[in-house]
Structure 1
Amino acid sequence: MMDRLQAHQILKDLKLKITPKRVEVIGCLADEPSFLSADQVWHRLKPRLSQIGLPTVYRILDELSEAGVVSRIFMADRKQYYFLCPNPEHHHHFVCEACRQVEDVELCGFDAVARDLSARSGARVTSHILQINGICAACSLAAEAAPGKELTAK
């Protein structure tokens, strides 16, 4: 669980103004071990910040995402979700479709794809997004222990 001083430090490092709304959005994401939609963040913050609107939550999530401290998570329902990821190193994510846990994946084999694209077409890759969806080991074991129970995304 992240304390509010850590949220202040994140904002300071990003050279963003430290506001109660930004601190609370970071804290809300930090308190959650999985990803949240902007709507879920907004509903969790409303009791503490009655003046926060959904557009403000989206704006804050977008600026934190652009700064690289929040990752966008894409799921089959086509909604966009957000996950606090303070890992500054280049990495990707494994997302469990059952329990919604997000795990860092340090391995990236995209350099070979970028080189191939460049060699074949002269294209220059400027960025890429890779998210691996599946079922984590704990959820797989739980499903094996309860035969007939179907794994579903939460």
Structure 2
Amino acid sequence: MNVITAMEILRAKGYKHTDKRKDLLELFAKEKRYLTAKEVLEAMKPLYPGLSFDTIYRNLSLFDELEIIEVTELEGEKRYRFGCATNDHHHHLICLTCGKTKHVHVCPMNEVAVKKNDFYVTGHKFEVYGYCANCME
């Protein structure tokens, strides 16, 4: 995902182009890692001093609904990042310190035997948590 594509998705779904939304998307493009809503608010405050958590959460929820961003939960807190640019099926390694991710192109669902008449799978998520080489030092 990139800012231009994200803005096109918003426009196609009938949402307004605003500088706040564009700046928020540019933050995700720059960071390339999972961010908490608090980190997003702190990064945006210099540009928009009166910005509230409500505005941040509303836009994050919209971006999630439109599949512009991905959401995960670490240590009981939701974290957000741009959706992956690749369309191939993959999962992530996630650094617990810096939030950076790495693709894993192996899927454990291939090993799960699910009978078609017993359970209908609509989706799944597989994440591995740990520390990247930079954060281990």
TM-score range, shorter chain: 0.7 to 0.9
Give TM-score, length-normalised by structure 1.
0.72
Asked whether the 8 Å contact 1:21–1:52 carries over to 2, the reply is no
Q: Deviations 1:122-146 (Å, cap 9, x if unpaired)?
A: 1101111111112224444x3xxxx
Whole-Å Cα distance in 2 between the matches of residues 86 and 67 of structure 1? Answer: 13
How many residues of Structure 1 are paired with residues of Structure 2 in the alignment? 133
The separation in 1 between residues aligned to 2:65 and 2:90, in whole angstroms, is: 15
Q: Please state how far the C-alpha of 1:51 moved relative to its aligned partner.
A: 4.2
Q: Which amino acid aligns with 1:10?
A: A
Q: What is the SS of the residue equivalent to 1:34?
A: coil
Q: CA deviation at 1:35?
A: 1.6
Query: What SS is found at the alignment partner of 2:59?
Result: helix
2:30 match: 31
Q: Does 1:123 align with 2:122?
A: no
Q: 2: CA distance between counterparts of 1:106 and 1:82?
A: 21
Which amino acid counterpart does residue 117 of structure 1 have in structure 2? V
Match of 1:86 among 67, 75, 84: 84
Q: Which sits farther off after the overlay, 58-67 or 81-90?
A: 81-90
Q: Name the larger-Rg structure.
A: 1
- Structure 1 unaligned blocks of 5 or more: 143-154
Change (3 A) 1:111 1:62: farther
TM-score (structure 2 length as normaliser): 0.80
> Quick check: 1:42–1:54 contact (8 Å CA) kept in 2?
yes
Q: SS of the counterpart of 1:23?
A: helix
- SS of 1:64's partner is helix
